[in-house]
Structure 1
Amino acid sequence: MRIFYIVFILFTVLQLIACDGEKQIRIIPVEDFFKNPERSGYLISPDGQYISYLKPYKNKLNIFVQTLDGRNVTRITSDTSQNIGYYFWANNQNILYLKDIGAESGVSLFVVKKDGNNNRNLITYQNSRMRLITKSQAYNNKILVELNKRDSTVFDAYRLDINTGKLSLLVKNPGNFTGYFADYNGALRLALMSDGVDETLLYRNSEKDAFKPIVKNNFKTSISVLGFSKDSCIYILTNQNRDKKALVELNCNTGKEHREIYSHPQVDVSGGGFSESKHKMLYAGFQTWKNERSYLDKETKEMYKNLEILLPETEIKVIDQDSAEQKFIVQTFTDRNPGTYYLYSLNDQKLQKLSDVNSSFTENDMALMQPITYKSRDGLTINGYLTLPVNKGQRNLPIVVLPHGGPSSRNIWGYNAEVQFFANRGYAVFQVNYRGSTGYGKSFWIAGFKEWGGKIQEDITDGVKWLISEGIADPKRIGVYGSGFGGFSALHGLCFNPDLYRCGASYSGMTNLFSYLKGVPPYYKPYQQMFFEMVGNPEADADYFRNTSPVFHADKIKAPVLIAQGTKDARVNVNETNQFVLELKKNNIPVTYILKEGERHFFRNPENRIELYRQLDIFFTNNLKKY
């Protein structure tokens, strides 16, 4: 007999909610969940005198700049054809921003004055990709970028003058460099080299010196650079010689660990606060069932303590700060509240509200997101979350199973628009951090290798069956929905557990592992062997691919299906999705097919995004609520 365990945090709170089942919950319009926020992407100028943010202008996100008191606001961009997706303050006068130029692999970088003047294109490449090495302030009016314009399969490193647009080659990629990192003076001193399986971290004392290898690992052993200390040491997150990622100081001259700063016995250290001015780590961040910090700096600990007094019962996240680290953009959130942006002044310890993320509903309309833990059929501990609809009790509920994408990612506690959307419609939402998810250590991550359609899906199935056995789920009203790998999981569940799910929906989910691996973009080619080890080799593992790819098993599906796809999705072949839909229709399976011209892996047009969720609303209502 399989034994399952579940842990409900704040169980008494849920009990109180269940007792209040007679109250009617307001059904919130779809667009209120999924419209673009009124304001987002807040940043502060390096001198701490101006605040910037993204706001819709003629239905496209553009950059606005205001004084600290908010009295003087200037729209500095006026793009009406596409959203501005990423921007940052290069210095006190100039803002750099990126936007796509229409092609799947094209990009443009622009610079504009903070008053909106002198808006100009620095570089544009139709058939290239660009990555920013410098992601905050420029150094002497120059930033570092990676471009694959010389060779589409590799990225060279350049220094870009933001005044002239001149590019200067810093590192010509020998064919196996996969990343670069600059120090606090803007000097490129680290590079990452990979043959697809083994990775080597390279270091040099200055840009005049040659790179030398200092650490070599298999890709399963990761190193993420957080910053340079004052001497020849760097702060990294690594699981070298350990299962869980730790915050470590590495000596670049020797390639040896100088010291372990922080580790957690159960989960990876997932990030940390790094001070550019102090060249030191301020805290280590990790996720148990919620976000947590271990403070390494007394002043930082006191600052967060004061913020927790000013903003009680919320999660607090610093979004940006000025160069002096005296003014901070802060965001709050909970599982039931998308949150609010504030300006916080360290000197006088005062908060100034900037805007709500979404003011269309209140916390009382939203549902609690509770952590769960159970055992898989082979004894592995699986973590996840269960969100029960408000005032619906805890038994015999319709369920939407929501597997995450990746699969090298994880669900985290906090506000999730999809989760709250489904819960508001009366569904319990089940999220599983199956094996192969990140955050729980190296062994747990590796346990998901070559288990697409195997033990990963068994973990999801085991969790659903536990919900049924406990009486939480109504076995006649279980649906599954996911995007990306989550979409693959949804379709796989419909194929291979046809009696478990009443319906299923896939948003940009792959149907064919053969084409998924063979269609990897050229700039991912250096990682091909890694993909083969993680997912499988289309030639050596052909039987496995054929046995698990939904495209070959459409005849097994019994339940209604919804599929959403963009015509320009580079990861999921639209022709194969079209063929899959035709096969379902031949088998008389009800299909709702949402195909959007020009959209990519995920819908960027807000109208298309809202239509998707309206169709999902109708789809799950028709298939889960009528039974």
Structure 2
Amino acid sequence: MKHLTRYLLLICGLLTTNLNAEPSQLIKAFSASAEFTDIQISPTGEYLGGITIDKTEDKRALIILDLKTMKPSYIANFDGKGEVGAYHWVNDERVVLQKTYKQERIETSAYYGEMLAVNADGSKPKYIFGYKGDGRASGGTSIKKSAPIQATSYMLDTLQDEEDDILVMAYPWTGTNHAITQIYRVDVYSGKRKKLASSPVQNAGFLVDHNQNVRFSYSQDEKLNDLLYYFDESQDQWVPGDKFRGDLQEFRPIAFTADDKSIYAIGAKENETRAIYQIDIATGKQQKIIQHPIVDPNELWIDQKTKELYAVEFENGHPEYEFLDKQSTKAKVLKQLMAAIPDHRIHIVSETQDGEKLIIIAMNDKNPGDYYLFDSKKLKLKYLFAQKSWLDPALMAEVKPISFTARDGKELHGYLTLPNGKELKNLPLVVNPHGGPHGPRDNWVFNSENQLLAQHGIAVLQVNFRGSGGYGPKFEEEGYQQWGAKIQYDIIDATQYAIDQGWANKDKICISGASFGGYSALMAPMIAPDMYKCAVGTAGVYDLEELHDSGDIPKSYSGGAFLEQVLGNNVESLRAMSPTHNVDKLKAAVLLLHGEEDIRAPMEQFDAMEAALNKANYPYEKKIWDKSGHGFYTPESREIYYETMLSFIKKNLAL
């Protein structure tokens, strides 16, 4: 760990002491992976766990610290290509962790469903679930064999009142992309397991009540229809849960009330935002508990001890909280923390079984995240770690929520990243459309790429265009089959709004995005060719006909139905909305960035765009990463990406 700390302190010095340092030093600072993530406290509060990067092998490891001394009691690592994925404390001494594998051809790790357990001091390691029963921990410690199972597993419930057992949700390997989900009770010391239930539908999730009974199963079919089942103990079988859903769209059960007689669920009535409902299990009667008029719930906070929902986070500009019971212990704690660390988003990420000690993370637009230990009995707050200690929040750029009216009268929302120390007037601007487009949205968060641009005096504009998630099903559906029309008009209108406000220099505007943002980075300048001086498409989709045939979406369980829903099959419309068929409208300088191992927007997409540009004899620049997929997942790849993107933008904006 010492060499890792020295490395990070070096970066910290480069950035925090001199923001006028060499560009490569700034890029390195913003490219570096987080020092610590996923900090969790053990049930009795004796230990802390956290994921860190072993720099000698560039692999994820789990470090367990004695909370009193803050010295390591054990570092969980794997030989060869193995590394640590997610992990969970299951009792006072024992941790269950996923084993993932670094791949040869691509930068991301793969998870094949293997779960292992080990004590906080490194003793009694055991392979408890997975397709093979052998393995070896770092240092040569043998892991005893467990019966193999051909399935990908995930933690369903740690069963806090049980010392030895957990509930595991497993997706059997069927050779297809769908399977009946199974639930097992697994002993974390011996690896012995007992099958408890199978889902009534494929690819299902589950909800467990306070008595460890699996009561609800939910999923979607291949046509994207929501499926909900309830386990009726009187009939000893799964029955359709239509009486609970009623007329709600996109219904999902999320937690039981304390008496197990009702559930909390999220859903939406027609033309409304998603809301939280309480539903009586005996009668199916619904009661709306919490709803925001503009945005959906952004986060749902469930007490780890009682499993009750106690708070809902919304984000209409800045984050705000609503409490189901304002007098509950957790509600009071969260309010105390918000007062102690103002102007931050506060998340309780882990707690002891008695609820007295909590691990929280505090984040905002300038701070990627600080971890604290809060003693709710003594009302003491102790700083633990920063995710990226070498970045000084005081030197970062503000992210300002904005709202504006689109050309058809629709109110839209977004964010403007403001270069620190610069007057908000006549600034060079990069427009950064988010990916998706359906489901994701932009939030008030720290964004390394946007912060890097801001350090070079460039403002960054983000807009939650029609089709974005987070504003209700109707808002999302308004973007269906409008990828090259209304969605792009929203992006263009947001750009014009920034110009009209005097914020942006109309002669110094670029657009840069990844995935669907890469599509928009090429498509928006084709619709508004005089608005953008340059366009950076990263991992973009450029030929919508090709999207129906290549990549992982059409091969997935409901991918065909999804593409038909959001794009349609009209060839003329698909071509009209494809950058590959609209090169003649371009005026902007173009940079294409892509990973050869991308399966979401495969190289066929890049090849089609390159061929169209070549056919039109249109100049462009490009860079290909041989091991990158749908994004850049290592510091080295991010450094090259940031350097290439930043250099191109500065050159074309004459900065």
- TM-score of the superposition, structure 1-length normalised? 0.87
Q: Equivalents in 2 of 1:572, 1:148: separation in Å?
A: 27
- Distance change in 2, residues 1:218/1:279 (3 Å): closer
Aligned match for 2:49, one of 48, 52, 65: 52
User: Secondary structure, in 3 states, of the residue corresponding to 1:235?
Assistant: strand
Match of 2:89 in 1: 89
Aligned match for 1:111, one of 107, 116, 133: 116
Mapping 1:52-91, distance limit 5 Å: 52-57=49-54, 58=56, 59-79=58-78, 81=81, 84-91=84-91
Q: CA deviation at 1:348?
A: 0.6
Contact 1:237 1:245 in 2 (8 A): yes
Contact 1:267 1:286 in 2 (8 A): yes
Is the aligned partner of 1:438 residue 2:469?
yes
Match of 2:487 in 1: 456
Aligned match for 1:249, one of 266, 273, 278: 278
5+ long unaligned stretches in structure 1: 1-22
Q: CA deviation at 1:489?
A: 1.1
AA of the residue aligned to 2:75: I
- Distance change in 2, residues 1:453/1:467 (3 Å): same
AA of the residue aligned to 2:542: T
Instruction: Report which stretch shifted further, 173-182 or 192-201.
Output: 173-182
Mapping 1:18-167, distance limit 5 Å: 29-57=26-54, 58=56, 59-79=58-78, 81=81, 84-101=84-101, 102=103, 107-113=112-118, 114-124=120-130, 130=152, 132=154, 134=156, 136=158, 140-155=164-179, 156-159=181-184, 161=186, 162-165=188-191
Contact 2:210 2:306 in 1 (8 A): no
Aligned match for 2:567, one of 528, 536, 546: 536
Deviations 1:430-469 (A, max 9, x none): 0101111222223222211111111011100111122223
Deviations 1:539-580 (A, max 9, x none): x32222121122333454333322332222221111331342
Deviations 1:207-253 (A, max 9, x none): 98211112387999222332122223211121135602111112233
Contact 2:130 2:153 in 1 (8 A): no
AA of the residue aligned to 2:654: K
Match of 2:336 in 1: 306
Is the aligned partner of 1:224 residue 2:252?
yes
User: Secondary structure, in 3 states, of the residue corresponding to 1:204?
Assistant: strand
User: Secondary structure, in 3 states, of the residue corresponding to 1:238?
Assistant: strand
Instruction: Report which stretch shifted further, 446-455 or 330-339.
Output: 330-339
Match of 2:229 in 1: 202
Q: CA deviation at 1:37?
A: 1.4
Instruction: Report which stretch shifted further, 426-435 or 328-337.
Output: 328-337
Is the aligned partner of 1:240 residue 2:269?
yes
Q: CA deviation at 1:380?
A: 0.4
User: Secondary structure, in 3 states, of the residue corresponding to 1:479?
Assistant: strand
User: Secondary structure, in 3 states, of the residue corresponding to 1:244?
Assistant: coil
Q: CA deviation at 1:428?
A: 0.8
- Distance change in 2, residues 1:559/1:241 (3 Å): closer
- Distance change in 2, residues 1:588/1:121 (3 Å): farther
Match of 1:567 in 2: 596
Deviations 1:306-356 (A, max 9, x none): 223432333322111122222111111221222311111111111221111
Aligned match for 1:331, one of 342, 361, 370: 361
Deviations 1:67-124 (A, max 9, x none): 1134331343224646534222233333223344339975242313122344454445
- Distance change in 2, residues 1:416/1:105 (3 Å): closer
Match of 2:403 in 1: 373
- Say which structure, 1 or 2, has more relative contact order (CA 8 Å, 6+ apart): 1
AA of the residue aligned to 1:303: V
- Distance change in 2, residues 1:622/1:355 (3 Å): same
Q: Equivalents in 1 of 2:365, 2:153: separation in Å?
A: 32
Instruction: Report which stretch shifted further, 90-99 or 347-356.
Output: 90-99
- How many residue pairs match? The answer is 600
Is the aligned partner of 1:612 residue 2:612?
no
Q: Equivalents in 2 of 1:559, 1:446: separation in Å?
A: 30
Match of 1:418 in 2: 449
Q: CA deviation at 1:536?
A: 2.4
Mapping 1:270-281, distance limit 5 Å: 270-281=298-309
AA of the residue aligned to 1:146: A
- Distance change in 2, residues 1:105/1:605 (3 Å): closer
Q: Equivalents in 1 of 2:313, 2:213: separation in Å?
A: 27
Contact 1:176 1:526 in 2 (8 A): no
Q: Equivalents in 2 of 1:117, 1:125: separation in Å?
A: 23
Aligned match for 1:347, one of 358, 377, 385: 377
Q: Equivalents in 2 of 1:122, 1:358: separation in Å?
A: 34
- Distance change in 2, residues 1:182/1:532 (3 Å): farther
Q: Equivalents in 1 of 2:110, 2:284: separation in Å?
A: 36
Instruction: Report which stretch shifted further, 572-581 or 458-467.
Output: 572-581
Aligned match for 2:208, one of 182, 200, 206: 182
Deviations 1:30-72 (A, max 9, x none): 1211211111111111222211001111222210001113433
Instruction: Report which stretch shifted further, 367-376 or 120-129.
Output: 120-129
Is the aligned partner of 1:622 residue 2:651?
yes
Deviations 1:407-448 (A, max 9, x none): 222111122212211111111100101111222223222211
User: Secondary structure, in 3 states, of the residue corresponding to 1:436?
Assistant: coil
Q: Equivalents in 2 of 1:423, 1:620: separation in Å?
A: 12
Q: Equivalents in 1 of 2:247, 2:519: separation in Å?
A: 25
Contact 2:543 2:609 in 1 (8 A): no
Q: Equivalents in 1 of 2:335, 2:470: separation in Å?
A: 26
Match of 2:556 in 1: 524
Q: CA RMSD in A?
A: 3.0
- Distance change in 2, residues 1:621/1:241 (3 Å): closer
AA of the residue aligned to 2:386: D
5+ long unaligned stretches in structure 2: 1-17, 133-148
Aligned match for 1:508, one of 529, 536, 539: 539
Is the aligned partner of 1:385 residue 2:412?
no
Q: Equivalents in 2 of 1:542, 1:170: separation in Å?
A: 48
AA of the residue aligned to 1:401: V
Contact 2:154 2:168 in 1 (8 A): yes
Q: Equivalents in 2 of 1:309, 1:73: separation in Å?
A: 32
Q: Equivalents in 2 of 1:160, 1:603: separation in Å?
A: 37
Q: Equivalents in 1 of 2:447, 2:365: separation in Å?
A: 7
- Distance change in 2, residues 1:158/1:596 (3 Å): farther
- TM-score of the superposition, structure 2-length normalised? 0.84
AA of the residue aligned to 1:199: D
Q: Equivalents in 2 of 1:135, 1:624: separation in Å?
A: 53
- Distance change in 2, residues 1:157/1:403 (3 Å): same
Q: Equivalents in 2 of 1:347, 1:81: separation in Å?
A: 43
AA of the residue aligned to 1:621: K
Mapping 1:257-296, distance limit 5 Å: 257=286, 259-295=287-323, 296=325
